[in-house]
Structure 1
Amino acid sequence: MDTLMLSRIQFGANISFHILFPTITIALGWVLLFFKLRYNRTGDIKWMESYRFWVKIFALSFAMGVVSGITMSFQFGTNWPGFMETVGNIAGPLLAYEVMTAFFLEAVFLGIMLFGFSRVPGWLHTMATFLVAFGTTMSAFWIIVLNSWMHTPVGFEMREGVAHSTDWLAIVFNPSMPYRFTHMLLASGLTVAFLIAGLSAFRWLIGDRGDAVRASLVTGLGLGALLIPVQILVGDMHGLNTLEHQPQKVAAMEGNWDTQPNVPLILFALPNEKTRSNDYQIGIPNGASLILKHSADGVVPGLNDFVTEDGEVLHPPVAPVFFSFRIMIGTGVAMLLLSWASVGFMARRKRGAEGLPKPLLWAMVPMAFSGWVATLAGWYTTEIGRQPWLVQGVLTTEQAVAAVPAPMVGTTLAAYLVIYALLLGTYVSVLFYLARKAALGEGVAMRPASGQAIPASMPAE
């Protein structure tokens, strides 16, 4: 493989590893605030026990996200100098805002949130939890602003090959930003919902039937059941926005080669770019036209519209976009079925977590990481679907890559992959270690009887 492909794979590996952790911290901060507010209101120890357990996972995820984010940002200079040379006047300030948010808001109040429970007034600890949650959301906001602008660039002009801002408001609120930001927040919420449900189900199955586990399990399942239909609706709106601004991406997602009406919704196929057709296609008649145009005879754009007369291909590689999109949708359907079935059993039997059948509890354990699968699949759909552009219509990926020897990139790529595999395995192991430790009663400094308020002077663990 040449330098361009190796650099793309390397950056893809870095961002794939990095995005796992902000996907957790963005929503988990708000769930921790929910636990803290419930404790403040009721005085019930189960909410503080839930807070104490999940704040450890938040801290671990936050640290992993910060470190991997720094590594990823270095690659703008080492692998993609053309990006900052061309659009640095816009990307630079947006990245600076994100750094300021992350390090001057999140990092400052994270210390109070982790270690200040018995050292500061209760209202200050609650405010610190809020500010950390708000900081993670704002950090995500600035990253999504930049990413959205790269997909739908507006509010700038080119001067001697360099982008200069003409309207910062238009840049920040570019056409795809509201859909992309909302979609990402919901993805984070679902990731955390199923992580909480999965680890709580694991604790339940190994014998921990405490009130904190019950509360966490019900919270996770309820949050997942609430958010997944909203995500489906927002995803549809995001898809229609993408159809307007990046029709070639939607054509690849649908595996549609010719612009035509009555396009089927393809459930399975093997896209063949050599023959420019699909092999072994199975589809629902008129399905894609109904979804994208809300009409059975709606005309859906085809990939063949994005090939020039001299054979230059201006659409993304079809197979990765086609399959990653279906993995995302399939994972979302599994989330919907599991969360709704679980909530349905609890409501019908009126026994809370004890009303859940064991098969559902066992299914929740591997589904703890379903949010990661859906997020990565959606990210690949979005980012590979932008190719060959790095900034749509402004800068191609090939124009931005550094002139680094391919063996050098390949060597560092191999090192990254080994390190990330080890770190990811360790991270997951630590999560289950913490769950087992909590199930044995080792993770709580003091466990009063159910319903008893935790003393205000209780020391931190």
Structure 2
Amino acid sequence: MLGFTALELARIQFGFTISFHIVFPAITIGLASYLAVLEGLWLWRKDPVYRDLYHFWSRIFAVNFAMGVVSGLVMAYQFGTNWSHYSSFAGSITGPLLAYEVLTAFFLEAGFLGVMLFGWNKVGSGLHFFSTVMVALGTLVSATWILASNSWMQTPQGFEIVDNVVVPVNWFEVIFNPSFSYRLAHMTMAAFISTALFVGASGAWHLLRGNDNPCVRTMLSMALWMLIAAAPLQIAIGDMHGLNTLEHQPAKLAAMEGHWENKPGEGAPLLLFGWPDMQAEATRYAVEVPRLGSLILTRSWDGQYRALKEFAPQDRPNVLLVFWSFRVMVGLGMLILLLALWGAWLRWRGRLYGSQAFLRFTAWMGPAGLIALLAGWFTTEVGRQPWIVYGVLRTQDAVSNHSAQVMGATLIVFIVAYFAVFGIGVRYMLKLVSQGPQAHEGASDAEAPGHRPARPLSAAPGAASRTHHQEG
């Protein structure tokens, strides 16, 4: 298909499906914690604004959660269908880690999700708050197990290879592998930032349309408080993660920096922009800051780190893609920090809700967190190539024995189905956001008399109306 090999199509298909899937759990993680904070503030202060915001965002959470579950089912099947040799080689580690995720996080979320979405007027306030906190905890536990599995693929340890099969010998080392803590912190913070931008953009959009009320102002205010705390922290975590990558995946780090060779006695520059050419083994049109790369990565003015030419060509990732996806992530991160600082300055000046320029910038930055998250994920996954288990199993040896025609046909099916199903879902979720929070909301639509909730999506108002219920 279009000159791609079966391996390339399998990688494109996995990248396409996981790009959809990663967006929904990120928002789920952030919104679940946001809902726990809102309900806690409602119980503490008895301010109806927090209650109304809770009911508003719980509906959006329900739709997003449903799409996350559906998109996640496909990922598990792909390990067996498209990457069967990987599954037979490393399934003794990947399988139990994913099973732990189901046995702990998924059951925890599922056990309390119904109470959280449908139990506002049916259980006591303490039990309902506890359920919301447990759902939030479940999303974080889920991320922990998933990232433990993926981080082991990045920095594997705690295993032996017996008869060409991975055998775990130390589960503590498997789970707490060298990159796990950095990647978990980086990903979790990215989810919080992405959600804060989503919530903040929603508030800014409503203010720009003249929908100025305490709920909308609180949405924007809370989002900006989160950003001013999380954005600098994420930069610090990213710096530590980069040093960890330098130690354990030096080829990936060299690709991120577009660093081809060290010059004797000179520190490495920091390349701001450029066009890496893998054939010429050089970065063309480079805009660089002398020695700053060494200062950041080695904490030394003249320090050096391994360059791309020190690795065999077959052991290098796609430098162009890694180089630019990393810069998209970092560039958007800087814009997010600018947004947070601008918001803090306007808050101090008492103009937070009246600056049209700031509100427009906030609205446009709504998807920035998710785009940065995807760019960071591409940097991580493409930068690991040509290994599926870094230094242990090459990607070309992990793919199933499918033809390019089969992989191309299934990829087309996925593209059509995903844009149809999730396009409708995202459109519906944005429609809910556009309605805005309503003052003095009582029970959610799904809790009204005569409606029996059957699934998380029932918590959304459209689902309730289809059961002949209309909110009064």
Give the TM-score range, shorter chain. over 0.9
Query: Structure 1 residues 446, 141: closer, same or farther in 2, change over 3 A?
Result: closer
The answer to whether the Cα contact below 8 Å between 1:225 and 1:340 also exists between their aligned partners in 2 is yes
The answer to whether the Cα contact below 8 Å between 1:438 and 1:444 also exists between their aligned partners in 2 is no
- Establish whether residue 124 from structure 1 lines up as the match of residue 122 from structure 2: no
| 2:121 alignment partner, SS class | coil
| Residue of 406, 412, 415 corresponding to 1:417 | 415
Alignment partner, residue 292 of structure 2: 287
Provide the rounded CA distance (Å) in 1 between the counterparts of 2:442 and 2:209. 21
Total equivalences in the alignment: 444
Matched residue type, 1:270: W
| 1:19 alignment partner, SS class | helix
Unmatched 5+ residue regions in structure 1? 448-453
| 2:262 alignment partner, SS class | coil
The answer to whether the Cα contact below 8 Å between 2:277 and 2:284 also exists between their aligned partners in 1 is yes
Cα RMSD, aligned residues only: 1.8
Provide the rounded CA distance (Å) in 1 between the counterparts of 2:46 and 2:260. 60
| 1:385 alignment partner, SS class | helix
Alignment partner, residue 437 of structure 1: 435
The answer to whether the Cα contact below 8 Å between 2:228 and 2:344 also exists between their aligned partners in 1 is yes
The answer to whether the Cα contact below 8 Å between 2:97 and 2:149 also exists between their aligned partners in 1 is yes
| Residue of 195, 198, 210 corresponding to 2:198 | 195
- Establish whether residue 154 from structure 1 lines up as the match of residue 157 from structure 2: yes
Q: CA offsets, 1:231-271, max 9 Å, x none?
A: 00000000000000000000000001113441111111111
The answer to whether the Cα contact below 8 Å between 1:118 and 1:458 also exists between their aligned partners in 2 is no
Provide the rounded CA distance (Å) in 2 between the counterparts of 1:426 and 1:371. 21
Give the superposition deviation at 1:340.
Answer: 1.2
| Residue of 244, 248, 262 corresponding to 2:267 | 262
Provide the rounded CA distance (Å) in 2 between the counterparts of 1:256 and 1:7. 29
Provide the rounded CA distance (Å) in 2 between the counterparts of 1:458 and 1:360. 39
Give the superposition deviation at 1:317.
Answer: 0.9
- Establish whether residue 319 from structure 1 lines up as the match of residue 320 from structure 2: yes
| 2:365 alignment partner, SS class | helix
- Establish whether residue 63 from structure 1 lines up as the match of residue 66 from structure 2: yes
Alignment partner, residue 464 of structure 2: none
Matched residue type, 2:39: K
Give the superposition deviation at 1:458.
Answer: 9.3
For 1:41-56, list aligned pairs within 5 A: 41-56=44-59
| Residue of 243, 267, 276 corresponding to 1:271 | 276
The answer to whether the Cα contact below 8 Å between 1:199 and 1:432 also exists between their aligned partners in 2 is no
Matched residue type, 2:324: F
Provide the rounded CA distance (Å) in 2 between the counterparts of 1:211 and 1:431. 22
Query: Structure 1 residues 213, 458: closer, same or farther in 2, change over 3 A?
Result: farther
Provide the rounded CA distance (Å) in 2 between the counterparts of 1:419 and 1:283. 43
| 1:278 alignment partner, SS class | strand
Give the superposition deviation at 1:444.
Answer: 6.1
Query: Structure 1 residues 45, 444: closer, same or farther in 2, change over 3 A?
Result: closer
Q: CA offsets, 1:89-136, max 9 Å, x none?
A: 111100001122343110121110000000000000000000000000
Give the superposition deviation at 1:425.
Answer: 3.3
| 1:163 alignment partner, SS class | strand
Report the identity percentage.
Answer: 44
Provide the rounded CA distance (Å) in 2 between the counterparts of 1:376 and 1:208. 32
TM-score (norm 2): 0.91
| 1:271 alignment partner, SS class | strand
Provide the rounded CA distance (Å) in 2 between the counterparts of 1:458 and 1:212. 23
Alignment partner, residue 296 of structure 1: 301
For 1:257-406, list aligned pairs within 5 A: 257-260=260-263, 261-307=266-312, 312-349=313-350, 353-354=352-353, 356-406=354-404
Provide the rounded CA distance (Å) in 2 between the counterparts of 1:30 and 1:427. 22
Give the superposition deviation at 1:359.
Answer: 1.1
Give the superposition deviation at 1:80.
Answer: 0.2
Give the superposition deviation at 1:416.
Answer: 1.2
Give the superposition deviation at 1:32.
Answer: 0.6
Give the superposition deviation at 1:446.
Answer: 5.0
Alignment partner, residue 229 of structure 2: 226
TM-score (norm 1): 0.93
Matched residue type, 2:211: D
The answer to whether the Cα contact below 8 Å between 1:273 and 1:318 also exists between their aligned partners in 2 is yes
Provide the rounded CA distance (Å) in 2 between the counterparts of 1:217 and 1:241. 35
Unmatched 5+ residue regions in structure 2? 450-458, 460-470
